[in-house]
Structure 1
């Protein structure tokens, strides 16, 4: 067994009639999913003009088709790229171009626009739709071809994995800046990640509830992989969250695995639903190492004990938030953070046993994540881009994300990408995008500090249209402030670091309170389809929750 596909096919053979997926009331057994995925493999082998090792991008939401297609594409040895269905225009094209995609399969909808398809075809990317109708003769349809091919397995020599370090998937991540980057997920990584639920005590009779989108690394590697690893688990995908219909303690849920839950939510969750064992983990898509909190200590993502250090070598380094750089000693080496309770930068040592696969086709971005010669000549550490705090008992708590990325609605928002699009507006001289905290909301909502060009006025309707056209909802700036100044006074408004980067920390700390900020503040008003002045009344309604974000 050297791949998730091997595990799945083994389970199909042993327990063909065991339920595998339950979706919107319909049960799909292992045998049916296996046969359907075989047809997907055969269809692409016969009609796709693809060979083993080619990349096929998958742009689909949750549902049985995602399972059938992702498994089916893996069986002939294709590399599957999971695309975020929320991204738009340039980001989507960037993702497709970044990993030499040969074919794109999508469920249709907004991605069937003529301009988008033409762009792909001009770049020799075959377009496939999970639909029986096609907007163009050059666009392939998959369902009708599934009826024409057999459900025999793909040839074994195509499925065979000769090295577990070979690439199995690409999952896109924003990292700490810029456009999404395709993180390399090896076969070994998928197998290791699939053991997470087993480590938490899950057994084959359990039902797993997955609320994340399937293209997300937690849903695909831990969720789908975990189900296949345990064999007889039911796999339930549904749209509402668990809490929306589990109203009391009368339930059979006993394990919850995930990351990013706020301590206050954690406490409230346990009070409402009873003693569920919560396993909070810390990890990143591109990194092969992380932490898993076994103790149920509220807020902790792991523990810096002997066992953790034995599994992987990590350090917490002093970091200057204002300068946005590591604090180094007189020899230029990293400085370990020895004081409990102080935020520090988490780094993992890169070794042969703990490799960093990096991003495909982006050597510069891969190398940027590495810190060399931190303690001794020749050592290499992976910069996770996150600040963590270790308490006096050795428990680790996530504090903040560094760089030009923050999280909102469970997604990473790349500030540089948002700033670049806003900066194209004819009235914008300079813009700095960052995240601000809002009471009772996870993550940070979007805000932009903007300097207007001389002799121009703020165009709220025009900016609203551009934001709607170019960004998914989670990346759209909800607040902003503008100052009309001459160019030479920019540094007095948009402060910069000693390395000439926009300073975001003080802006994020200021928030969006009109009683504190003297500049003009604007709020994204969806009913008005414009950015309107943020008054004290609107501010109070946002803070109280009367106006939702």
Structure 2
């Protein structure tokens, strides 16, 4: 097993570097990071007797380092799928007697969206290792597919910090404690969304957030936890570092992720800096809104983002959704759901109905093009709706309503 997978391991690592080379920041992956990544499956309790199912692309560090590297480290059996298929997933698991599988992003949501079949709990899968699973999908997945231990973790390819959820606490990426703090030094600090930078006091020092309050996750850079940065110009590496955070000379890695810690020290992902937007003086977490919309029985997928509106600072919330098969859009029910479950500033002002959504290779929804298209019915052929608080419902976004919004005659 070990000798047969080593050539594949080398090929996958090259793929990681070549894929990222086309991006502005090409991460440098050291041998130390590869070794750390390869023990992830072992740390969650996988053994040489496990049969591990990998459907993730090998240009991604989870598939290449944690998945393939983990199989090599354990001497475990690897079932490598060329491409993820939601309809074939459980068929493959039964066929190959899979005991562990990897997930990332929305993979488990896609499995939950498949038509129900008999014997869905008739499998040998005992562990699922991955990241990016929302709480609503987590609960649906366990209810539908049985007693599978979900091993959620947090980490970045180039980052110098990781969290691991060993207890199965739904929604959490891990828990900080005395022993964890001996190895990793991290902080959650306040972030200024208008200036798009950490908030600092008059002396230039950053503020730590309180328990339960979302903050930017940063990790101390030192000899014990180095940050190797990116290939090419040093400015790429420097852009991910924060200097003089709490005292002169200290250096922290900026993860770009917003998280919060509860009073039991469990950590939860809140949103990405680029995804969070500001509306009417408040910060809106797109993941929070999307999770809430996902509870509606007629919505299959929700992609939340902010769009600029004339006469207003910040961006108004907009969501693009896909309806479940054989389900119809209930505008009144959707309005009632958002106004009762979300604060007023987080309620999506605009709604777009799509037949399908584009995703990245790691199942993350693409937002940039949707943000650029905005809510203009003259350019968008998809059905559009506007949140009308007078009628207490979402209503079709007509050309007349659009013109009134653009001329600032209609309040958003």
TM-score, normalised on structure 1? 0.49
Match of 1:81 among 1, 8, 17: 17
1:267 is matched with: 139
Distance 1:317 1:520, change over 3 A: closer
1:511 is matched with: 348
| Deviation string, structure 1 residues 39-61 (Cα, Å, up to 9, x no partner) | xxxxxxxxxxxxxxxxxxxxxxx
CA distance in 2, matches of 1:355, 1:260: 25
| Deviation string, structure 1 residues 288-327 (Cα, Å, up to 9, x no partner) | 3210011110011111211221120011112233443322
Deviation at 1:233, TM superposition (A): 2.0
Match of 2:380 among 504, 518, 531: 531
CA distance in 2, matches of 1:240, 1:79: 22
Structure 2 residue 281 is matched with structure 1 residue 444: no
User: Once structures 1 and 2 are overlaid, which stretch shifts more, 345-354 or 321-330?
Assistant: 321-330
CA distance in 2, matches of 1:191, 1:246: 41
Structure 2 residue 248 is matched with structure 1 residue 394: no
1:355 is matched with: 226
Structure 2 residue 46 is matched with structure 1 residue 209: no
Q: Secondary structure at the match of 2:17?
A: strand
2:198 is matched with: 326
Q: Secondary structure at the match of 1:301?
A: strand
Deviation at 1:510, TM superposition (A): 5.5
CA distance in 2, matches of 1:317, 1:246: 48
2:10 is matched with: 71
CA distance in 1, matches of 2:24, 2:56: 19
Distance 1:533 1:255, change over 3 A: closer
CA distance in 1, matches of 2:201, 2:243: 15
1:172 is matched with: none
1:372 is matched with: 243
Distance 1:310 1:325, change over 3 A: same
Deviation at 1:265, TM superposition (A): 0.8
Q: For the Cα contact (< 8 Å) 1:520–1:533, is it kept in 2?
A: no
| Deviation string, structure 1 residues 190-249 (Cα, Å, up to 9, x no partner) | 111000000111111211112222211111111111111111323332521344589522
Q: Secondary structure at the match of 2:132?
A: coil
Q: For the Cα contact (< 8 Å) 2:12–2:58, is it kept in 1?
A: no
CA distance in 1, matches of 2:200, 2:194: 15
Q: Secondary structure at the match of 2:181?
A: helix
Match of 2:78 among 234, 257, 267: 234
Q: For the Cα contact (< 8 Å) 1:390–1:397, is it kept in 2?
A: yes
Structure 2 residue 211 is matched with structure 1 residue 340: yes
CA distance in 1, matches of 2:377, 2:164: 39
| Deviation string, structure 1 residues 447-501 (Cα, Å, up to 9, x no partner) | 654xxxxxxxxxxxxxxxxxxxxxxxxxxxxxxxxx8xxxxxx7x35x3xxxxxx
CA distance in 1, matches of 2:262, 2:184: 20
Match of 1:184 among 21, 28, 32: 28
Structure 2 residue 380 is matched with structure 1 residue 521: no
Q: For the Cα contact (< 8 Å) 1:347–1:383, is it kept in 2?
A: yes
CA distance in 1, matches of 2:10, 2:374: 52
CA distance in 2, matches of 1:226, 1:259: 16
CA distance in 2, matches of 1:246, 1:364: 55
2:182 is matched with: 310
Distance 1:401 1:443, change over 3 A: farther
Q: For the Cα contact (< 8 Å) 2:317–2:349, is it kept in 1?
A: no
Q: For the Cα contact (< 8 Å) 1:224–1:235, is it kept in 2?
A: no
What is the number of residues matched between the two proteins? 301
Deviation at 1:335, TM superposition (A): 1.3
Distance 1:259 1:533, change over 3 A: closer
CA distance in 2, matches of 1:188, 1:280: 22
1:251 is matched with: 123
| Deviation string, structure 1 residues 516-542 (Cα, Å, up to 9, x no partner) | xxx983479xxxxx72264449x9899
Distance 1:180 1:273, change over 3 A: farther
CA distance in 2, matches of 1:390, 1:268: 24
CA distance in 1, matches of 2:28, 2:159: 9
Q: For the Cα contact (< 8 Å) 2:12–2:64, is it kept in 1?
A: no
| Deviation string, structure 1 residues 365-407 (Cα, Å, up to 9, x no partner) | 211111111112111011111111111111100001003x58x
Q: Secondary structure at the match of 1:307?
A: helix
CA distance in 2, matches of 1:540, 1:302: 38
Match of 2:255 among 367, 372, 384: 384
CA distance in 1, matches of 2:220, 2:143: 39
Q: For the Cα contact (< 8 Å) 1:521–1:533, is it kept in 2?
A: no
Q: For the Cα contact (< 8 Å) 1:208–1:234, is it kept in 2?
A: yes
CA distance in 1, matches of 2:305, 2:85: 25
1:486 is matched with: none
- Equivalent residue runs for 1:42-61 within 5 Å: none
1:293 is matched with: 165
Please report the RMSD computed on the Cα atoms of aligned residues, expressed in angstroms. Answer: 3.6
Q: For the Cα contact (< 8 Å) 2:128–2:150, is it kept in 1?
A: yes
